[in-house]
Amino acid sequence: MEPEALEQLLSLKFPSNAYTIANANDKDDAGAIKIGDKILLSSVDVITPVCKDPKLFGKISLSNALSDIYAMGGTPLAILSILFLPSTSNYLDIGKKILEGINEKAKSIDVANLGGHVISDRTVKVGISVMGLTHKDKLATKNGASLDDLLLITKPIGTGASISAVAKGKISEDEANEIYRSMEQLNHKAAKIFQQHGIHTLTDVTGFGLLIHCWDLVKRESLGVEIYLDKIPYFKVFQKAVEQGIEPAATERNYRYIKKIVKNFPTIEGFKKALLFDPQTSGGLIAAIPPHKVQLIYDHLKNAGLKAAIIGKVIDDQCIKII
């Protein structure tokens, strides 16, 4: 869905009650309900296949869905799975393998799969609803960025064009292995490190691309961001995909939505321009971090085996600057 269309849907008034901390009108990564000094988090996500292996697709689907809970400072507790399966002769086998992947990944982090629903559809899709928990003092949101905070990302960019290139036979499955490993990787290590250092301004990078998600962290504070283009980590196969003319439709949609806020697009060309708008599946987290904390957090992320990078800074100008 185009960002503008989503904004129109979210302009409707969503009901809340005395327990509601965040609902769809807050446009955060998950809904939040207060229960005593605890906060119950809830989110849902649906994705189409990103690889040929249905078991791997199940694992990636879960990692993708859990990221919203991690971005809110939470610990996932349980999921519900929704499978969309075609009525073909092998649909049961496909469904079983997808569930095996979901369940194996869930078990590895002590997340319960409580069941779900199966729907006949023309194409395979997986939906996962997640319930998580956090303490009121550990809740993270897209709010709270401050002037001169540094933006730190925890995974490379480039899954969108790379997945499309595999589907079109421009990149082999072997070449895409680093993409699959990254998408399968959970964001729990990064989330835990951010919690340990008291970082509460977070989001995850998903289908709207890097620039829109960076903008999400500052627009409510009437601030802007400066993006260090050469510091953005990316997958090698992404460059190959873009240079072969591969571009998901969402890349152009993301560009049209955010271009009016960016000051210097004409000076940026090639794959690095596409890098800013490429739609991500199971991307990393982005955090706004005070300068005096960033080096220690960066070191902790790198020591945990994460491909973290400092990619920008919060500025006193309501725009996006690319340098």
33's CB contacts (< 8 A; 6+ apart) are 19, 20, 21, 39, 40, 42
Strand-pairing partners, residue 39, are 34, 134
- Stated pTM of the model: 0.95
Tokens representing 160? 């969108």
Mapped onto helix, strand or coil, the DSSP state of residue 281 is: coil
- Whole-angstrom CA distances from 18 to 21, 138, 276 are 9, 20, 39
Q: CA 46, CA 81: separation in Å to the nearest integer?
A: 10
| Contact between residue 210 and residue 262 where contact means Cβ atoms under 8 Å apart | no
Q: Tell me the pLDDT band of 266, cut-offs 50, 70 and 90.
A: low
| Contact between residue 57 and residue 98 where contact means Cβ atoms under 8 Å apart | yes
Report pLDDT digits (tens) over 78-129: 999 999 999 877 888 999 999 999 999 999 999 999 999 999 999 999 999 9
* All domains of the chain in start order, with CATH: 12-135 (3.30.1330.10), 150-322 (3.90.650.10)
| Contact between residue 209 and residue 259 where contact means Cβ atoms under 8 Å apart | no
Average pLDDT over residues 28-33: 97
CA angle 235, 307, 253 (to 5 degrees): 50
What value does the mean pLDDT of the chain take? Answer: 95
Round to the nearest angstrom and report the end-to-end CA distance of the chain: 29
